Amino acid sequence: MSSPETKLRWAILGCARISRRGLIPGIQQSHSGSLDLLASRRLEAANEWAAEFSIPRTVGSYEAAIADPAIDCVYIPLANEEHAPYVKMAADAGKHILCEKPLALNADEAREMVDYCRNKGVILMEAFMWRHQPRTLAVLEAVRSGRIGDLKLVRSSFSFSIDMTDWRLDPARGGGALWDVGCYGVSTLRLFAGEEPNDILARARFSDRGVDLSVTASMKFPNGVLGAIDCSFEQPFRCVYEIVGSSGSIVVPNAYLPPETPIAQFYDTEGNLVEEVTYSGRNQYACMVDAFAESVYAGKLVAPAEDGLGQMIALDRVLTSCKV
């Protein structure tokens, strides 16, 4: 295993869209990691990507990448139904694991994965890059320091229109708007509330195949904070969250897909804009990779990183409420 002075050596399993736009540049722009290996069941595709992104090595199977003794960590961006088997395989090989969200198909599977990795002594972290943005960390500190008074409400919206042939509309593959984009809102509510919800009410529009196309959910937390999310595969693009306190509010536009100059807007009790703050536009995936390394060297997950179990429990409860 590498030391903090040498960089962690990464393998990516699969030529997924999120790898191209997220983790390949994220690892390569990180301070702590090097992308040493790209695995794909389509070796030709892996070779093309390796040439494009200057990745040193490729292999034609995920199993070969996991077994490689020169690899410290694996990133798993596979379809949701493949997360559990490859997480366990990587844990058996002693690799630390960054797994794309949602972690599992349900809370029971997530619990099994988390326990398995803990017993194997490896770090398992759910890949919520937005938690590690400089902006997110600064807004979280502003809320915790009392900048907007006592926290009262957190709300999040994330939606876009999807091609109706997309695999994310396949129920057998863990499809649905909640698990793909609504999960960001649930993660936002949980992070800022600092607790797990004790009351959830949700409603949804389902496709003919039984996949949720649009979801709204309200939550209440033990500390009295209220939360609301909406997400959709059939609405225009929206990506924003708002934090409301007793003496002001904060609006975070382009919340989960920040531009080069991300901002947050601070409002007073009369709804007047009092300050617009600009934050570092550093690649949020690179920030996540470095946060992952911090957890690896600490031997435990370092906040705001998490293993995804609490998140999956909340998602299960939202989906269950939708079906009542």
Q: Which of 215, 174, 209, 194 is nearest to 78 (CA)?
A: 174
Each residue's pLDDT tens digit, 94-114: 999 999 999 999 999 999 999
First to last CA, the chain: 48
Q: Which domains does the chain have, with CATH numbers?
A: 8-128+287-303 (3.40.50.720), 134-280 (3.30.360.10)
The pLDDT of 123-140, averaged and rounded, is: 98
Q: Which of 311, 319, 318 is nearest to 109 (CA)?
A: 311
Each residue's pLDDT tens digit, 135-194: 999 999 999 999 999 999 999 999 999 888 887 888 777 789 999 999 999 999 999 999
Is pTM beyond 0.85? Reply is yes
At residue 32, the pLDDT reads 98
Using CA atoms, how far residue 25 sits from 41, 79, 90, 286, 295, in Å, is 21, 21, 22, 7, 20
